[in-house]
Amino acid sequence: MFRKLTHLLLISSLLALSGLAYAQVPTPNATPSITAQATIVPSAPQLAASSYILMDARSGEVLMEHNADEALPPASLTKMMTSYIASLEIMRGQIKEDDLVLVSEKAWRKGGSKMFIEVGNQVSVIDLLRGIIIQSGNDASIAMAEHIAGSEDAFADLMNSHAKRLGMTTTHFENATGWPAENHLSSARDMAVMAHAIIRDDPDHYKIYKEREFFWNGIRQPNRNLMLWRDSTVDGLKTGHTEEAGYCLVASAERDEMRLISVVMGTSSEQARAAETQKMLTWGFRFFETKVFYQPNQVLSQARVWAGAENQVALGLAEGLVMTLPKGQAEKLEAGITMDSPIKAPIAAGDVLGRVEVKLGDKVMHSAPLVALVAVEQAGIFGRLWDNIRLFFYGLFN
C-alpha cells in the first residue's frame, strides 16, 4: 500500500535552489510597498487581425490568443519551414553552406517576391538561405527545395513530415514558397511552434533573420520585417502577404532574458501588421516575466529506497521548471512535493516517483512528474530480505 508524503515548500526554497535571489515577504502588519505588490495585469489588447498569438519561448506559456488554431493561408511565413529544413541539413552535414546550387528554369520563372537569381547560374547554399529569409525569394526557395529533395513536390512532403514532428497539427504544406494553393494552410499557433523550433534548434542561422538587407545581383533589398527598425529587441522572424492571406508577421524579441514570440495573420497592411505586433510585445513584456526555478535534472530531493543497492535516490524534474507569470507574482508561490512511499528497487532513471505542484493560493499553476535522476539496482538477497522485514514493521507502526 502506498502513502503520500507531502512537503510544502515556500517560494523561498524554489528561488534558493534555482540560485535566484529571494525577496523577503512583508509581515502581515506591514504595508507592502508598491514594488512588492504583484503587477495589475490589464486585459490583453484587441488586435485588428484575423488570428494572433503571443507565446513565451522558454516556458511555452500562451499569454494571449485569438482564433489561434484557425486554418489560414500562411503566405510567405511558409518559408520559415523551408529555411528551417535547410539549416537542419547543414547541421547534419547533408549539405554545406558553400555548396553550389544550380538554378532551374522553374525556380527562375517563379513570380512574386524574388532574390533575382538567374537560370543556369550556380548560387551557394548560404546565399540562397539569405535570399529566402531576408528577401523572401520564391526563386531562392524553389532552388533550395530542389537541391535538398530533388523536386519541390518531394520537398513539400519533407516539410509536412517536419511539421508533424514538431506538433504543428493544423498545418499542411503544398509548396516551399507559400504560393496560394487550396490545401496550403497553417495557423497562428503552428507558426509560433515553427518559430520556436528555429530559435531553439539553430541559433547560429537564426541570426540571419535580424539582418536588415541583402545585396544580390546588383540589387539591394531590405528585410520586409519593419519591426527590425522599430524595436531594437526584435531579432526576427518573417513576413508574409498574399491577397487571400492578408499581411502576416511572425516576430520574436528578447528583453531581460525573456523571449516572446508573436504571430499576426490577416492584417490590412505592412504598417498594420507591425503596429499590431508592437501592441502584443509591449503588453507581454510590460506585465509578465519569465522565471527559471529549476534546471533540468537538478536534484530537488532525496527519497528513501527499500531493497536497493543504494539507500537513497535523487529526484528532480526532467525538463526543469520555467514559468511565465505576472510581474511580482513569483513571491507568492508555494511548491508541494508529493512522493510515493514506499519506493522499492529496482529503479530506472526517469521513473516517475511523485509530483511537484506549484500553487498560487488554491490554484495549481504548474504540475510536473518528479522522476528518479539515477538508476538504483536491487540489493542482494540478504539486503532485500532485511529491508522487507524492516518495511513490514515500518508499515505496522506507521
336 located within any domain: yes
What are the grid coordinates assigned to 124, written together? Answer: 551557394
Nearest to 272 by CA among 51, 44, 47: 47
Residues annotated as catalytic are 76, 79, 136
55 and 19 in one domain?
Answer: no
Residues 261, 305 within the same domain? no
The answer to whether the beta carbons of residues 320 and 294 sit under 8 Å apart is yes
Q: Which of 39 and 347 is assigned the larger pLDDT?
A: 347
DSSP 8-state assignment for residue 84:
H
CA dist list (Å): 328 to 41, 335, 341 = 11, 17, 36
Q: Could you tell me the pLDDT band of residue 280, with boundaries at 50, 70 and 90? A: very high
Type of residue at 256: D
For the chain, the average pLDDT equals 87
Determine the distance from the C-alpha atom of residue 37 to the mean position of all C-alpha atoms in its chain, rounded to a whole number: 29
Crossing angle between the packed helical segments 188-201 and 152-166, to the nearest 10 degrees: 90
Q: What is the pTM of this model?
A: 0.83
The pLDDT confidence band at residue 14, using thresholds 50, 70 and 90, is very low
Rg of the chain (C-alpha set): 26
User: DSSP string of 106-161?
Assistant: HHHH--SS-----TT-EEEHHHHHHHHHTS--HHHHHHHHHHHHSSHHHHHHHHHH
Contact yes or no for 343/305 (Cβ under 8 A): yes
User: 79-91 and 138-149 helices cross at what angle (nearest 10)?
Assistant: 40
**What tens digit of pLDDT does each residue of 316-333 get?**
998 888 999 999 888 888
Same domain, 322 and 260: no
Which among 217, 250, 267 is the end of a domain?
267
Give the chain's domain count: 2
37 part of a folded domain: no
Domain-embedded: residue 83: yes
C-alpha of 215 from chain center: 31
Within the chain, residue ranges assigned H as helices are: 11-18, 79-91, 105-109, 125-133, 138-149, 152-166, 188-201, 203-206, 227-230, 270-287, 381-397
Clarify whether residues 301 and 263 are in a common domain: no
Q: Pick the closest to residue 115 from 252, 191, 190, 216 (CA basis).
A: 216
| CATH number of the domain where residue 313 is located | 2.60.410.10
Exposure string for 321-344, b = 16+ CB within 10 A, e = fewer: bbbbbebbbbbebbbebbbbbbbb
Number of Cβ within a 10 Å radius of residue 226: 20
Q: Contact at 8 Å (CB) between 356 and 317?
A: yes
Which structural domain, as residue segments, surrounds residue 341?
A: 3-27+293-397
Cell of 178: 507559400
For residue 334, is pLDDT > 60?
Answer: yes
- Amino acid code (one letter) for 303: A
287 in Cβ contact with 42 (< 8 Å):
yes
What integer is the mean pLDDT of 22-42?
Answer: 45
CATH number of the domain that 62 lies in?
Answer: 3.40.710.10
pLDDT of residue 343: 82
**Which is nearest to 367 in space by CA: 330, 321, 326?**
321
Predicted confidence at residue 37, as pLDDT, reads 57
In a domain, 372, yes or no: yes
Confidence of residue 1 (pLDDT cuts 50, 70, 90): very low
How many other C-beta atoms are found inside a 10 Å radius of the C-beta of residue 261?
28
Do 136 and 75 lie in one domain? The reply is yes
The 3-state DSSP class for residue 9 equals strand
Render pLDDT for 42-54 as a digit per residue (tens, 0 to 9).
999 999 999 999 9
Tell me: do 303 and 249 sit in the same domain: no
DSSP 208: G
Q: Judge whether residue 183 has pLDDT over 70.
A: yes
